[in-house]
Amino acid sequence: MSGKKTESSQPVDQNKKEKPDEKAELKVKDGAQATEAGFKVSEQEEIEYLQEEREGKEAPCAAGREPGGDQPDLKETINKLQAELEGKDREISELKKAVEELKDKFLRSVAELDNIRKRTEREKEEFFQYALSDLLRDILPILDNFERALKTSEEEVDGKTFREGVELIYRMLLNLVKKHGVRPIELESKRFDPSLHHALVSEESAEVSEPEIKEELQKGYLLHNRLLRPTMVKVIIPKKN
């Protein structure tokens, strides 16, 4: 009895074991098919992938349409830049022209200054050569009178007439130098002035307490307010000790 039950239970167990094996075979087959077919995604992921792919295709198209849409702005920018370049070219041309004009004026000024310098040097040299022309021209009549006086013999004139002729020539010459700003230094007092007088001879005396002029040896002259020649004098100085 027990042996039969055991035999009858074995087929049942075998059938139960066969079902899991069949499921395993199905899973293996499904896995193989999935491997052969590739990675399978969900519907949501597929939708998102298609949307991203469509947006990626539309983006270049949109990028290609942007230049076309901004074409007027680009042309306007190009025209503006060309106008600015033309303005800069005109400005450069005007500056070059101004530089050339200034260069020409500078060269002309340098040449003019050089001519002025040369003319000034020539005029200065001529001035030193001919500055005394007026004075010498005025002296010539006095020389003529001296010639006349020397030509006159002693028999023809007496001493008084000769002296009067010399005095006349002296007055003519004195008036001439006064005309040109020369005037004699007059001894208004006996006080010795080193700025106007030059002591050729000195003599000690106990009668004076400071230098005094005793005698005029040669007349001095002033040219306007400047000393032309000092007066030569004999001076009395206080006696030492």
DSSP string of 113-131? HHHHHHHHHHHHHHHHHHT
Residue 97 maps to a domain: yes
Q: What local confidence, expressed as pLDDT, does residue 196 receive?
A: 92
Determine, yes or no, domain membership for 124. Answer: yes
Q: Over the chain, what is the mean pLDDT?
A: 78
Tell me, yes or no, whether 222 lies in a domain. Answer: yes
* Count of domains observed in the chain: 3
Structure tokens at 52: 């991203």
User: Helix, strand or coil for residue 55?
Assistant: helix
228 & 207 share domain: yes
190 lies in some domain: yes
What is the per-residue pLDDT for 17?
Answer: 44
Q: Are both 221 and 233 inside the same structural domain? A: yes
One-letter amino acid identity for 47?
I
Chain-centroid distance, C-alpha 200: 60
Pair 126, 147 in one domain: no
> Within a domain: residue 121?
yes
d(CA 57, CA 63): 11
**pLDDT higher than 70, residue 21:** no
Full-model pTM: 0.48
Q: Establish if 31 belongs to a structural domain.
A: no
> Amino acid letter at 114?
D
Read off the pLDDT of residues 82-130 as tens digits, 9 standing for 90 and up. Answer: 888 988 999 999 999 999 999 999 999 999 999 999 999 999 998 888 8
Q: 182-184 and 226-229: which strand pairing?
A: unpaired
Q: Is the pLDDT at 35 greater than 80, yes or no?
A: no
Which single residue is written with the structure tokens 């310098």? 117
Q: Are residues 173 and 197 in the same domain?
A: no
pLDDT tier, 40 (very low <50, low <70, confident <90, very high otherwise): low
Domain extent, residue 142, equals 132-180
| Domain containing residue 221: CATH number | 2.30.22.10
> Do residues 174 and 195 share a domain?
no
Domain contains 19: no
